[in-house]
Structure 1
Amino acid sequence: MTQQTEHELGSFLRYWRQQRGKSQFDLSLDSGVSQRHISFVERGRSTPSRELLLSLARTLDVPLREQNILLLASGYAPVHLESAWNTPEMAVVNNVVDRMLKQNEPHPALMMDRYWNVLRTNEAAPRFFGSFVDLSKWPKPRNLLHLLFDPEGVRPFVEDWNVVASGLLQRVYREAVGHVTDKKTKELLDDLKKYSGVRELSGSLKDVRDQAPVLPITFVRGNERFSYFSMISTVGLPQDITAQEFRIECMFPVE
């Protein structure tokens, strides 16, 4: 291992340990690896095996994509695939996704990647959002957050937009893969803050006036009001990066 590789590996492992709020001693107890060995790995004084790195990564709940980065930083080949959606391996997942999207008709349902880019929808979703704005002005893959935050998008039609936007920002952090905002997620948040009024949002939900079990999003068009809450679905035990990073958002009417 080169000195630079050792430094990258140590920094990467230390970063994830700190993200999980664990000391070297905590990680030692959870993983069964001696604290001394973990210290040596982080300081570049020990060359860890691939099995040891994967064991530490699983203990720290490091997402699959970042596990590959950890292996590469250690001089090993990645082990987790990132399959394309049209490969035979993804056929069973594709079938389930199509079924879930279709079964949510006549209400909108969307499949998104980890950065809220819409990858697939049922027929109701573009029909619903297209009733507020001309979706042809939004290049694919359309980003749901930009559509909801942009004053030229759906934002003017969202009731109590400040409250809804604060809740959505909380979701970005809560639903980030591995519960950590990576570089691209931070870039997405920075882009959202360029819209008027976003940077001033407190990120809290103190303005919510009732004790409803969910925070609905109400869209207003003339005298019509459409209130929805969302159910989010992810793969339970993903072994592929693509399978881990997508989610399905099904919108259900509140009333």
Structure 2
Amino acid sequence: MASRHQQRPVGELLRQWRERRRISQLDLSISADISTRHLSFVETGRSTPSRDMVLRLGEHLDVPLRERNQLLLAAGYAPAYRQSALDDPDMAPALTAVRQLLTAHDPYPALVLDRCWNMLDANESTLVLTAGMAPELLTPPVNVLRATLHPNGMAPSILNLGEWRAHLLGRLRRQVSVTADEELAELLEELRGYPCDQPEPEVEVPGPGDIVIPLRMAQNGVELTFFSTVATFGTPLDVTLAELVIESFFPADEQTSAVLRARN
């Protein structure tokens, strides 16, 4: 993906991001405080943007940090944002904080994901979600979406598979739209091909008493019901850190809470 971006003019990439965000040249020029004429020249290749302008337009277009680096490379500049390895010493404080969150969330499941939904870390209680999965789906790197929706993964135990599948595919589809990430687009196509014997709602409409979309699953003859929350770092300046997601599952009823507390 990086090489493809480097071969294409920065103006063309900026125009595509602007169109993806459905922002007119006029609106972008006003918000970024540049003239419409200059913006037009940048998009058509008649003018080369400065490094600061590339960063400013990337900010106003809400371009992900990974892709802002690609815009800079396409314009002939060095990347502005680091992409640290997880074992980089500078990442240690952030990862320590993440591990504290995971541990504190026991006895309820919580896991850390990268941009492609690969599991980077998880607490012990996550085992309640992965019980019974085919071993090959749990071989690192474990892709959480694949493991959830694959017929040899969680899918057979999910009682509202159609609803939960539609929810997950909707999240991934929106992520593809925001990031234009080809790897995520390929994952979306793969997941769409997995079988599902339940209707998949096109619009998420709450059922009686629902305030969130629940995950309902059967385990050892007991129905467990969860809802989840998603957390990210608030002010990341590193590509890897910006793409980390912490997903935490909470019991949606007392029965589920009791089962999870009894496991510890």
TM-score (norm 1): 0.90
Give the aligned residue type for 1:117: N
* d(CA) in 2 for partners of 1:182, 1:6: 17
Give the aligned residue type for 2:122: T
In structure 2, runs of 5+ residues without a counterpart are 254-264
Give the aligned residue type for 2:194: Y
Shift of 1:134: 4.3
Shift of 1:133: 2.2
Q: In structure 1, the residue corresponding to 2:9 is in which secondary structure?
A: helix
Match of 2:85 in 1: 84
Change (3 A) 1:249 1:14: same
Counting matched residue pairs gives 248
* d(CA) in 1 for partners of 2:224, 2:43: 53
Q: In structure 1, the residue corresponding to 2:167 is in which secondary structure?
A: helix
Give the aligned residue type for 2:129: F
Shift of 1:108: 1.0
Change (3 A) 1:229 1:119: same
Q: In structure 2, the residue corresponding to 1:36 is in which secondary structure?
A: helix
Match of 1:140 in 2: 140
* d(CA) in 2 for partners of 1:202, 1:73: 41
CA contact (8 A) 2:10 2:71 kept: yes
Shift of 1:216: 1.0
* d(CA) in 2 for partners of 1:52, 1:134: 50
What aligned pairs does 1:37-52 form with structure 2 within 5 A after superposition?
Answer: 37-52=38-53
Match of 2:111 in 1: 110
Q: Output the aligned Cα RMSD.
A: 2.1
Q: What do residues 219-240 of structure 1 show as CA deviations (whole Å, max 9, x unaligned)?
A: 1024211111111110011100
Match of 1:233 in 2: 231
CA contact (8 A) 2:137 2:153 kept: no
Shift of 1:5: 7.1
Percent of matched pairs sharing the same residue = 37
Q: In structure 1, the residue corresponding to 2:11 is in which secondary structure?
A: helix
Q: What do residues 74-93 of structure 1 show as CA deviations (whole Å, max 9, x unaligned)?
A: 11111110011111211110
* d(CA) in 1 for partners of 2:130, 2:78: 45
CA contact (8 A) 1:31 1:55 kept: yes
* d(CA) in 1 for partners of 2:185, 2:129: 26
Match of 1:158 in 2: 158
* 1:252 pairs with 2:239: no
* d(CA) in 1 for partners of 2:6, 2:82: 23
Structure showing the higher helix proportion among its residues: 2
Shift of 1:211: 4.6
* d(CA) in 1 for partners of 2:60, 2:143: 33
Change (3 A) 1:178 1:236: farther
* d(CA) in 2 for partners of 1:5, 1:162: 40
What aligned pairs does 1:6-85 form with structure 2 within 5 A after superposition?
Answer: 8-85=9-86
Q: What do residues 57-113 of structure 1 show as CA deviations (whole Å, max 9, x unaligned)?
A: 111111110000001111111111001111121111011100001011111110001
In structure 1, runs of 5+ residues without a counterpart are none
Give the aligned residue type for 1:166: A
Change (3 A) 1:38 1:153: same
* 1:188 pairs with 2:187: yes
CA contact (8 A) 1:6 1:74 kept: no
Q: What do residues 183-209 of structure 1 show as CA deviations (whole Å, max 9, x unaligned)?
A: 1111110111221249x8454334x53
